[in-house]
């Protein structure tokens, strides 16, 4: 039974952190739509050149500014895992990268409460995927991301060994792992 005290309580409203839309996702229409929906947004083109390496802007956006990254680049989680972990980045990946801004906006608005709650639930590096249906799935954070990073490194070493290009010295210094 709900008491009078409990009836008057509302769930705590979570503030939205700044969301950085990367170059693969940035469009004027998406930016306008989400801004009108109350999302605090920043765009890649306002801060970086189009050819800026991912690891550079990830470090700046996540570690220095502490903004959340929104991308449709599904490979970012694999190719930039080291930068994501070291900068404690929070990344939202749109899994359907061919639908365009209208479906992206619909999925993000449908998932906004789940996204916001997930962003506030975890401290440190985080990668979540948002499907075109608006479902938040495959949330990786903390130890899960480090395990994923180790699996990726193992795969890269095995591929290099099979190809005959493995050099243990470069893997010990980390040059070939990135």
Lookup result for tokens 């795969």: 155
Domain 15-141 has CATH 1.10.3470: no
Confidence band (pLDDT; 50, 70, 90) for 2? Answer: very low
Report the length, in residues, of the chain.
Answer: 178
Lookup result for tokens 């249906």: 133
| Mean pLDDT (whole number) for 33-43 | 92
The full set of domain ranges for the chain reads 15-141, 143-178
Percent of the residues in the chain that have a pLDDT greater than 70, as a whole number: 87
pLDDT digit string, tens, across residues 75-96: 998 899 999 999 999 999 998 8
The residues pairing with 19 across neighbouring beta strands, listed in sequence order, are 41, 68
Which phi and psi angles does 71 have, rounded to 5°? -145, 155
């Amino acid at each position: 039974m709900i008491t009078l005290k409990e009836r008057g309580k509302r769930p705590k409203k979570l503030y939205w952190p700044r969301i950085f839309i990367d170059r693969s996702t940035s469009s004027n229409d998406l930016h306008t739509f989400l801004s009108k929906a109350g999302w605090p947004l920043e765009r890649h083109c306002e801060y970086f050149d189009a050819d800026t390496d991912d690891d550079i802007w990830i470090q700046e956006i996540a570690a220095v500014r502490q903004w959340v990254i929104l991308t449709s680049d599904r490979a970012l989680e694999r190719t930039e895992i080291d930068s994501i972990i070291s900068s404690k980045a929070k990344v939202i990946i749109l899994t359907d990268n061919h639908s365009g801004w209208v479906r992206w906006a619909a999925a993000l608005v449908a998932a906004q409460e789940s996204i916001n709650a997930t962003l506030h639930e975890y401290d440190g590096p985080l990668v979540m995927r948002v499907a075109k249906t608006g479902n938040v799935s495959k949330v990786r954070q903390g130890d899960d991301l480090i395990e994923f990073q180790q699996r990726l490194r193992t795969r890269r070493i095995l591929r290099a060994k099979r190809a005959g290009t493995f050099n243990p010295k470069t893997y010990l210094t980390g040059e070939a792992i990135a």
